[in-house]
Structure 1
Amino acid sequence: MERLSAEADGFFDVLEERRRSSDLSYAFRTFNPQPYRGAMPISAATLNRMVLESQYLSYVIQEILLESEEPREALLEEASALLDEMSQNLQLGFIRLLGFIMNKVFKSVFSSIHVNEDGLTRLQQAIQEYPVILLPNHRSYMDFLVLSYIMFTYDLSIPVIAAGIPLMGMKLFGEMFRRSGAFFIRRAIGSDKLYWAVLSEYVRTIVRTGYAPLEFYVEGLRSRTLKSLTPKLGMLHMVLEPFLKGEVFDISLVPISISYERVLEESLLAHELLGVPKPKETTGALLKARTVLKEDYGCMHVFFGNPVSVRDLVKGKINCRQYNLVPRDLPTKPSKEMQEFVSGLAHMIIRLQERNVILSAWNLMAVVLLQNLQGIDLDLLTHKTLWLRRLALRFGAHLRWPKNVSDSEVMSSSMSLHHSVVRCERGRVYLVEEEGPGPVTQEEGVFRSATAVLMCASYRNQAVHVFTRPAMVAVAMTTAASHRTDDIFHHFTFLLELFSNELVVIPGQALQDFEEGCSLLQESGVIGRSDEEIYVRDNGQETIIFLRAILQPFTESYQVVFRYLCEESSQTLREKTFSTNIRSFIMKLLISGEVQTYECLSSDLQKNVLSALLRMAAVTKTKVDDQNEFRVNKYAVKRIWDMLSNGWTPEISVEARL
């Protein structure tokens, strides 16, 4: 049975009741959360003192003393200063103030905020039983604000939140965020031993005392492409230690999926990907951006996933007894076994986040539009979007499709909401390019086209995970040496490794991913399987062509970067100049018409190619004068390029496109 509406599965609109009551009465209503039963009732100041007086921090300071000539008092003062800079100071009064402001903002910019009711019930129970770690995906600056807003609205303990230190520098707002539960982490910690010690002990103390639910982004950064990012593992290591050392009985990890119908930063993100410097997070910049709040951003969905028990996860995977062999307060280096476990867990959390993302009609329309950059008739766009809806539902997507509304009206309202990205003229739909003063140079023309494509691509990217595994099977079937299952699987694993920074996959699960992709295609009547071969059914060609086209921007963009690396006269590249040089190279190819894939201008994609080549030993990285340098093995890059392009047909006929 097709799942046509998320609302049918227990979602409700948080804003509906808020629109019927005053903002002031909402902010000052009785707040009565049920905290963790094992929590120690301590203040933020007491929490800080526990960190500074911990045996762990004392031990690390002693180690630093042996390595340097700094006096102990100076190190203690530095540790105290770091903690003052970092720590939160959660106060209910500021939560009420933030709630008052956010109530006004959310009612202004969003038509609705839908939350799954059963998820809130599960979270409420989990918070009372064990320390809880909230793990949302990160697509907008709104993410942590909306979660605290929901927690306050439904009498759930307000979380403390790991935030980037630039937010701390915002006048007035930085302190308001701190007193609303944010603690601030530097982005570049490097090998600063004391900072690592203060941060890790602070995080562990929050968990072991049950001070509050702890919230952080397992991706580490906000995704500028709106795709999932490869997870960062440092914070996850920290929060797991209290369990591994027997300081808490269990920890509940709660994956959270936040889905935006329209993202506030859509234009900003596209410009960042094209090399435009990111605006500094200042109060002035925030006030200048207030015109954004006059726009309509449609609806938002927040899905609270099932709490995941760390105790259950480690069974049979980690021998916790090894942690009893050394005193709890001594620093311990994670074993290889532990590193692999945490990596697998982080990737699993991201998979759970993706699984519960709620897609809109616009996400599917964006997929079709990007395969028709010259424009497409509205009737054909509607037809192909409806075809894609059926395929997405068969592949397990959660899709919000308005009830009792005609398909043409759904398409029309989606285009109206996304007027900054798409326009309809005389029954034909085009991407919108930015307007500017005066004549446009060739470079400016390409930049504007690329901005439009990347803005649209960000919405396609929100749906890519639904098609990733079937699409990789489709590409592997095209590029493999034969129809033999072994050959197709071999090429599938190559694609997984190459694109693992683009399309997050769980390490060590290539076979499961392959079987999942094949099963979805087989159940949809696209492919058939014999004992040793996989073949495309006659009525499956359209789907195979579409799935290949989904990955085409990534595949073609990677080939463009490979070409740059192979044609570059020097085998050594400086990280500082890499982005500028490759952007200039690609710009020339786009102007000449030799390349049509604007997404290869994305700085994130270019960095992902280097990461893939580093992982595949085609590039090595060294540090020279505090700058990263990359040495390119052109033979190895060419070999990977050949394997990727073998059998790949860059151009797809107009008739075969979606």
Structure 2
Amino acid sequence: MEAITNTGNTPEAARVPWRLRLFGRLLESWVRIKRDPVDPNRLLLPGVPVIYVLERYGLSDALILEQACREAGLPSALVPPAAVSTRRKRSYFVTSLRNSLFWNRARRRPPTETLSELVQALEAQPELDIQLVPVSIFVGRAPTRQSGWFSVLFSENWVVVGRFRRLLALLLNGRDTHVQFSQPVSLRQVITEEQNQRSERTVRKIARVLRAHFRRIRTAIIGPDLSHRRTMVDAVLNAEQVRDAMAATAAKEALTRQQVWKRAHDYALEIAADYSHTVVRSLSFLLTSFWNKLYDGVTMRHFDTLRAVAPGHEVVYVPCHRSHIDYLLLSWLLYTNGIVPPHIAAGVNLNLPLIGPLLRRGGAFFLRRSFKANALYSAVFNEYVAQLFAQGVSMEYFIEGGRSRTGRLLQPKAGMLNMTIRAFLRESRRPVVFQPVYIGYEKLMEGKSYIGELSGQPKEKESLLGLLRSVKVLRQHYGRVSVNFGEPVFLTELLDREAPDWRQSGQQEKPEWLARAVDHLSERIQININRAADVNPINLLAVALLATPKHAMAESDLLTQLELYQSLLAELPYGDRVTLTEKTPKQVIAYGEQMEWIRRIRHPLGDVLSSDGKQGVLLSYFRNNVLHLFAASAWIACCLINNRRMARASVVRLARMVYPFIQAELFLPWNEEGFVERIQATIDFFIRRGVLGEDADGRVLNRGPGQGDAAFQLRTLAHSLLQAFERYYITIAVLVKNGRGALSAGELENLCTLTAQRLTLLHELNAPEFFDKSLFKGFIAQLRERRVIWTDDAGKLDFADALTDVARDAKVILSREIRHGILKLAPHPRATAVAESAAA
């Protein structure tokens, strides 16, 4: 297809006015277009004439559209389609017009007039169809390394700009032009659906739908049309819920109306973001250089599903939280890939001088760690979230409540999810989708501080001085980062399952089903984050090396173990969004040496790879990132490391018993039957690999002698889950040894933590998360939920006889040495008070 820049005497070129051909030649020499999709031909209906639809009139938009069509091999936009008999001289029209120059103002026709002509043409030619292709054009949407700071001022926004500003935008940002082709609409199909309506009504409906479509695309690409921050604050303070809270606070604390209004106003200013497109673009430009210096690359996967659902949805991003880098990285990735960055819920501890205002303008809104006791603050914050929803603003928050210090997903906090669902019930203009995101690092800036906190050191408070001191970490090498988008969770689908009558609960403050729905939603989000995990070389090395007493392994054994892990993950995929490094075992080891995670010890009988001291402790973080991927295989290995032979049925029976606790800790995706199927498939994998054997009828499993390679592979694999069973046994042993009605849940948590700490000291376990109090708390909560233990009238824990049976079953998994060591260390009832005092 010849375009307007061609000078040949083709029929199409001849029909384009000479001034358009000239302007097109000039524009094409400067403008560089990024198309979405890259091949829009796939969208078109074959053999159907094309009419393009633009959002706004402008000569530059028409020429950019023509250039994009030529580059993509699409029909020209500047000549009329031959099959359509109308007065149209072009193959495009716009949905809104701006004032025209005085000499051709009368020639500008409203879009409904063009649509009417097209509809009349189809009515006159029943065999004819026309496809309307909406095309969105954004000049200066995403930054490039060639962008200048001044160009930020002329990036795309919601303002309908004049010709001079558009010219400057083209000069400064023309090489960063984004053209998005949308799914075509069959005009014949619309007319058929509206055949009982008057043509004027059909035309108005099509025009309205097109305008709504362009608003959705613009909102998804550059963000909603945000009003001034003061307007948002005024809307929050004028809301009925906030006015009621102010009245209640004034009555309770004997404050004047002005005093309580000022307090609420201060709360709103403390919370509210001050989003600026200019600042976001500037930060994106800055971060591009920052990431290039800090990392070897950032890999993003499964982004297409988000791009498909973002228009027309209220998107809530719910990533795992492992570093302060998380929210900067995700916002940058979204912006540079054509999706507006979300408003981010940040802890008020980050509202530092200089940093806080910058984060606000980047979309951060701040919340206090806890505000249950402050009804006025709670009302203001809830209303602010509701106002964001009303404006169609995408949001991001971390349901773990804080950064994970262990590398595992933390138990979710319900607060923000609860507020989101309530805001949706109140203002459900658009469907809500939660987008889980897995972020995987190969080295963390905060790694050493995490280990210190888990070892008992107090958390260092964020400060501007501390931030300046941490600049030195930027000189280090942090490898690659992977950002995997998990399977989205659609809120309406979840509510339809949990509460079919939820649509009738909109006016209720807290529907009875809300807590249940929040719990299931948070669990599904965490599961989908884990189902999008990325397994990098450091994860594999950590799983293997940390299973040995001195975090060292002969190179030949390490190569075999790495190959086993990679084959296991490839043949029995955990989920369709889990990604695995393409490096071979030898390349994995070489990369670990390059990243200085492991060191090579030369030896005549074969080199040894080792991770020493603090490096070994830090590696536990990256092992914990992917523990869930090895849950089924590690369980089988645990059953057979202390037993040469074991019935397959016994492995399955014990798996059913322990699975609810492992599932709750690692956010595994299967139900009980699904886990059993996974166990059976993994056993078959081990048999094919020669790691396990079976008798003639396949009922009894067996392993090789303890000195053999197969037994070594099983011991190494079992270690990733063995510490969890040791924690479970510590909890049960402490509870049983102290007896019924002797300990409260809090006292049991403290005693278990102290016992685990002491066991770590005696056995040199370089795993600070082994005595993480939250893990004991989660296990105790699961025991209570399943009524294995319960609270008596005095607030102490009672338990069923079945608990002692569980303790006896532990001998199948844990060695006699470990069991006796734990029983010996478990505090005696007379020593409980002393232990509690030490914990305090």
Q: Aligned-pair RMSD on alpha carbons? A: 4.2
Q: Which has the larger radius of gyration?
A: 2
CA distance in structure 2 between the partners assigned to 1:28 and 1:56 by the alignment: 39
Give the TM-score of the pair, scaled to structure 2: 0.63
**Could you tell me which amino acid in structure 2 is paired with residue 30 of structure 1?**
S
| Contact 2:735 2:743 (C-alpha < 8 Å) held by counterparts | no
CA distance in structure 1 between the partners assigned to 2:452 and 2:151 by the alignment: 38
Match of 2:541 in 1: 365
Match of 1:395 in 2: 572
Match of 1:439 in 2: none
Q: Which shows bigger deviation, 104-113 or 230-239? A: 230-239
| Contact 1:140 1:265 (C-alpha < 8 Å) held by counterparts | yes
Match of 1:383 in 2: 560
Match of 1:14 in 2: none
Match of 1:625 in 2: none
CA distance in structure 1 between the partners assigned to 2:640 and 2:271 by the alignment: 51
Residues 342-363 of structure 1 show CA distances to partners (whole Å, capped at 9, x for unaligned) of 2122211111111112111221
The equivalences for 1:34-433 within 5 A come to 34-35=218-219, 41-62=226-247, 70-116=255-301, 119=303, 121-168=304-351, 170-210=352-392, 212-245=393-426, 247-320=428-501, 323=504, 328=507, 332-335=509-512, 337-374=513-550, 375-396=552-573, 398-402=578-582, 407-417=585-595, 419=596, 421-426=597-602, 427-433=607-613
SS of residue in 2 equivalent to 1:315: helix
SS of residue in 1 equivalent to 2:498: coil
SS of residue in 2 equivalent to 1:224: coil
SS of residue in 1 equivalent to 2:483: strand
Cα offset, 1:229, TM superposition: 1.6
CA distance in structure 1 between the partners assigned to 2:260 and 2:747 by the alignment: 34
CA distance in structure 2 between the partners assigned to 1:564 and 1:92 by the alignment: 57
Residues 316-362 of structure 1 show CA distances to partners (whole Å, capped at 9, x for unaligned) of 432345635x7x4xx51131x33222212221111111111211122
**Could you tell me which amino acid in structure 1 is paired with residue 476 of structure 2?**
E
Cα offset, 1:95, TM superposition: 1.8
**Could you tell me which amino acid in structure 2 is paired with residue 240 of structure 1?**
I
CA distance in structure 2 between the partners assigned to 1:26 and 1:393 by the alignment: 47
Q: Which shows bigger deviation, 198-207 or 286-295? A: 198-207
Structure 1's unaligned 5+ residue stretches are 1-9, 11-16, 435-451, 623-628, 654-658
CA distance in structure 2 between the partners assigned to 1:372 and 1:478 by the alignment: 14
Q: Give the direction of change, closer, same or farther, for the CA distance of 1:608–1:122 in structure 2 (3 Å limit).
A: closer
Between the two proteins, the alignment pairs up a number of residues equal to 599
Q: Give the direction of change, closer, same or farther, for the CA distance of 1:595–1:102 in structure 2 (3 Å limit).
A: closer
Match of 2:74 in 1: none
Is 2:752 aligned against 1:555? no
Cα offset, 1:209, TM superposition: 2.0
Give the TM-score of the pair, scaled to structure 1: 0.78
Q: Which shows bigger deviation, 377-386 or 304-313? A: 304-313
CA distance in structure 1 between the partners assigned to 2:673 and 2:262 by the alignment: 53
CA distance in structure 2 between the partners assigned to 1:99 and 1:292 by the alignment: 21
Cα offset, 1:172, TM superposition: 0.9
Residues 122-160 of structure 1 show CA distances to partners (whole Å, capped at 9, x for unaligned) of 434433212111111111110000011112223321210
Q: Give the direction of change, closer, same or farther, for the CA distance of 1:534–1:509 in structure 2 (3 Å limit).
A: farther
CA distance in structure 1 between the partners assigned to 2:673 and 2:249 by the alignment: 46
CA distance in structure 1 between the partners assigned to 2:764 and 2:398 by the alignment: 40
| Contact 1:171 1:283 (C-alpha < 8 Å) held by counterparts | yes
Match of 2:665 in 1: 502
Cα offset, 1:292, TM superposition: 1.0
Higher RCO, 1 or 2 (CA under 8 Å, sep at least 6)? 1
| Contact 1:167 1:281 (C-alpha < 8 Å) held by counterparts | yes
**Could you tell me which amino acid in structure 2 is paired with residue 555 of structure 1?**
F
1:650 to 793, 805, 815: 815
| Contact 1:110 1:299 (C-alpha < 8 Å) held by counterparts | yes
The equivalences for 1:454-603 within 5 A come to 454-472=617-635, 483=647, 491-500=654-663, 502-505=665-668, 509-522=671-684, 525=687, 535-536=700-701, 547-563=717-733, 571-572=742-743, 585-593=755-763, 599-603=769-773
SS of residue in 2 equivalent to 1:253: strand
**Could you tell me which amino acid in structure 2 is paired with residue 185 of structure 1?**
L
2:155 to 17, 22, 30: 30
Structure 2's unaligned 5+ residue stretches are 1-37, 39-141, 158-216, 705-709, 819-840
SS of residue in 2 equivalent to 1:128: coil
Cα offset, 1:161, TM superposition: 0.2
| Contact 2:593 2:599 (C-alpha < 8 Å) held by counterparts | yes
**Could you tell me which amino acid in structure 1 is paired with residue 612 of structure 2?**
V
Q: Give the direction of change, closer, same or farther, for the CA distance of 1:57–1:23 in structure 2 (3 Å limit).
A: same
| Contact 2:642 2:814 (C-alpha < 8 Å) held by counterparts | no
Q: Give the share of equivalent positions with the same residue, in percent.
A: 21
SS of residue in 2 equivalent to 1:129: coil
CA distance in structure 2 between the partners assigned to 1:111 and 1:176 by the alignment: 26
SS of residue in 1 equivalent to 2:461: coil
SS of residue in 2 equivalent to 1:646: helix
Residues 565-620 of structure 1 show CA distances to partners (whole Å, capped at 9, x for unaligned) of 666799457969976x7666555444544989765344444444554455456777
Residues 242-281 of structure 1 show CA distances to partners (whole Å, capped at 9, x for unaligned) of 4434632411222212111222222221111111112111
